[in-house]
Amino acid sequence: MFCYQCEQTAKGGCTKIGVCGKTDSTASLQDLLLYLSKGLSQVACAAREQGIEDPEVNLFTVKAVFSTLTNVNFDDARFVALINRCVALRDRLKAKVSGVEFDGPTVLMPALDIPGMVAQGREFGIENDPEPDADVKSLKQTLTYGLKGVCAYADHAAILGKEDNELYAKVQTLLAATLAQGLTVPQCVEAGLECGRINIRAMELLDDANTSTYGHPVPTEVKLGPTAGKAILVSGHDLKDLETLLRQTEGKGINIYTHGEMLPCHGYPELHKYPHLAGHYGTAWQNQKKEFAEFPGAILMTTNCIQDPKKYIENIFTTGLVGWPGAVHVQNDDFTPVIEKALELPGFAETVDKGSVTTGFARNAVMSVAGTVIDAVKSGDIRHFFLVGGCDGAKPGRNYYTEFVEQAPADTVILTLACGKFRFFDKKLGDIGGIPRLLDVGQCNDAYSAVQIALALAKAFDCGVNDLPLSLVLSWYEQKAVAILLSLLALGIKNIKLGPSLPAFITPNVLDYLVENYNIAPISTPEADLAEILG
Ligand code: FSO
Ligand code: SF4
């Protein structure tokens, strides 16, 4: 195996087993599925040119690619099923296309067993990429990873019934483009920016899906301590799974808690209305082995990031695209096994007050106080905004973000989103004239909301986003973060500080390009970065 797609990659790339726990066989099956999904995309593009659109192929493309994102699926059997389905859909569509000579991943037949598929996957892994130019290879990988993020957002939106054929067409065009030989660096840069642009559309679609189904988030206080009684913990990012579970547990005496990226769900009126949505438990994904082991109820993983659950394998359930061998996978929205497990387990013995946090400062909530915010900036009460957001992770160096927020002067406001916030989410930073200094915009999936806030501020001040008193201090981990970064670049946003380390798949020349054109800089120390930004 060779994988260097996430921030916690071993030095130079994971080669024997992933730092995430991904085995050699899972990695190779993912490589095979990704290669075949690119072939499926080539066929979909050829079919589209002849006026043939296959909705099943479109949705499958984003699901298959999303399932290869970091910490989503570790179950080989599920990958085998996806590989076989991919080929069946490809051949069904191919039969409708006339006059096209297909080759490569559009004709490859998968082996009949796992060892055979693993051998095939190796052949199409990164280490066997025939691309001779290291910078082109780096940019093609960046594009592939960005597309994984786009597919994640598109799938989340589709789950709530929001799909866009034009978006699928662009995703498939770019997936197919990653297979092209002889591309130049400028062509690859343009493809990366196009990926950023289509990601904005995917995030917009998801924002529409979430807000039209569950209402616009409103600032909401969320309890951090447990309530006595039976309990289910929901982690991941999928709002529909949470809502379905809330409905199925009504009147059953079970309290539902959010974990990790599900925290912002409390802000949605149509989720908050359930009285047994009792509070939030735990912090970011990389702390789950300790936090899940101590949770006295059932646990439901709706999407990434799952870690090896062997210590509590009986209590954890997966659904959607997430999977772990040996964990019960719930299908067709029937959460009965999760509910039965929760009733069997002891639950919390007592109610404990551990304080609260406030979430729900998505674009609508922030814009509803735009006048006050603008006045505070004009009067000098607010000197600067920081968007301190992105993923959390296990590697050392992420304390930077905690210290950055702690050291940010009292006349600055921190907007945050995604699981990186758990480094400081419960800090009491006070307010500026009634505007809280710490504003939780939502999940990583709500980056669209943060972008809209920035664009609205730029409009109000009649300037460009880069001229606002706003700095982006980002942390990355997996490939949705790559997609978001490409979106920010596509929007022309400059001066981003990125950490805790730079992507291993970026070559020195590509980094130079980013520095020259976008003034991206790796984080240094909170003191130095704050002094530079505010100085
Ligand atoms: Fe975190 Fe994991 Fe949301 Fe990521 S839980 S790291 S960017 O998958 O998706 O922020
Ligand atoms: Fe390594 Fe990250 Fe790939 Fe896992 S996803 S194998 S940790 S680079």
Are both 1-128 and 370-534 of the same fold? no
Q: How far apart are CA 279 and CA 17, in angstroms?
A: 36
- Which residues on adjacent β-strands are paired with residue 254? 230
d(CA 505, CA 7): 10
CA distance 443 to 349: 30
Alpha carbon separation from 375 to 370, 372, 435 (Å, rounded): 9, 5, 11
- Ligand 2 centroid to Cα of residue 376, in Å, is 44
Ligand 2 nearest-atom number relative to CA 4 = 8
Which residues have any ligand 2 atom within 6 Å of their CB? Answer: 3-6, 8-9, 14, 18-20, 22, 70
The CATH T-level fold of domain 1-128 is Substrate Binding Domain Of Dnak; Chain:A; Domain 2 (1.20.1270)
3-state secondary structure of 126: helix
Ranges of each domain in the chain: 1-128, 220-344, 370-534
Distance CA 62, CA 148 (A): 8
Q: Which CATH architecture has domain 370-534?
A: 3-Layer(aba) Sandwich (3.40)
**Strand 412-417 and strand 438-442: pairing?**
parallel
- In short, whether 529's Cβ falls inside 6 Å of ligand 1 is no
Q: Which atom of ligand 2 is nearest to the CA of 71?
A: 5
User: For 128-153, how does the pLDDT look when each residue is reduced to its tens digit (9 = 90+)?
Assistant: 998 999 999 999 999 999 999 999 99
pLDDT confidence bin for 12, thresholds 50/70/90: confident
Residue 69 CA: which ligand 1 atom is closest?
A: 8
Number of neighbours of residue 504 by Cβ within 10 angstroms: 18
CB atoms within 10 A of CB 351: 12
DSSP 131-194: ---HHHHHHHHHHHHHHHHHHHHHHHHHHTT---HHHHHHHHHHHHHTT-SS--HHHHHHHHHH
Question: For residue 295, how far is its CA from the centre of ligand 1 (angstroms)?
Answer: 21
Tens digit of each residue's pLDDT (9 = 90 or more) over 355-368: 999 999 999 999 99
pLDDT tens figures, 14-34: 999 999 999 999 999 999 999
pLDDT category, 395, cuts 50, 70, 90?
confident
Ligand 1 pocket, residue 485 CB under 6 Å: no
Ligand 1: which residue has its CA nearest to atom 9?
444
pLDDT digits (tens, 9 = 90+) for 206-222: 999 999 999 999 999 99
Q: Alpha-carbon distance 23 to 318, whole Å?
A: 19
Query: 3-state secondary structure string, 280-344?
Result: ECCCCHHHHHHHHHHCCCEEEECCCCCCCCHHHCCCEEEECCCECCCCEEECCCCCHHHHHHHHH
Residue 508 parent element (H or E): helix 508-518
Query: Which strands form 438-442's sheet, in the order they lie side by side?
Result: 438-442, 412-417, 384-390, 470-475, 497-499, 521-522
Annotation: binding site: 3, 6, 14, 20, 237, 261, 305, 391, 419, 444, 478, 480
**Per-residue pLDDT reduced to its tens digit, 160-195:** 999 999 999 999 999 999 999 999 999 999 999 999
Tokens of 246: 């809330």
**pLDDT, tens digit, 9 for 90 and up, residues 218-264:** 999 999 999 999 999 999 999 999 999 999 999 999 999 999 999 99
**Interatomic CA distance for residues 407 and 217, integer angstroms:** 29
Share of the chain above pLDDT 70, in %: 100
**Ligand 2 centroid – CA 478 distance (Å):** 9
Cis peptide before 305 (omega within 30 of 0): yes
- The answer to whether the CB of 446 is under 6 A from ligand 1 is no
Binding-site residue ranges for [4Fe-4S] cluster: 3, 6, 14, 20
Average pLDDT rounded to a whole number, residues 297-312: 98
- Strands (DSSP E) contained in 341-392 are 356-359, 384-390
- The torsion region of residue 424 among left (phi > 0), alpha (psi -120 to 50) and beta comes to alpha
Helix (H) / strand (E) element for 498: namely strand 497-499
Contact yes or no for 405/414 (Cβ under 8 A): yes
Query: Residue 323: what are its φ and ψ, rounded to 5°?
Result: -160, 150
Q: Does domain 220-344 have CATH number 3.100.10.20?
A: no
Tell me which ligand sits closest to the C-alpha of residue 443.
1
- Tell me: the pLDDT tens digits for 415-460? 999 999 999 999 999 999 999 999 999 999 999 999 999 999 999 9
2 CA to middle of ligand 2, Å?
9
- Residue 301 tokens read as 């993983």
User: For 76-99, what is each residue's pLDDT tens digit?
Assistant: 999 999 999 999 999 999 999 999
Give the C-alpha separation, 469 to 219, whole Å: 24
- What average pLDDT is seen over the chain? 97
Q: Is 215 left (phi over 0), alpha (psi -120 to 50) or beta?
A: left
Please name the residue that has the structure tokens 């006339």.
98
Distance CA 286, CA 475 (A): 14
Q: In this structure, what token pair is assigned to residue 110?
A: 């998968």
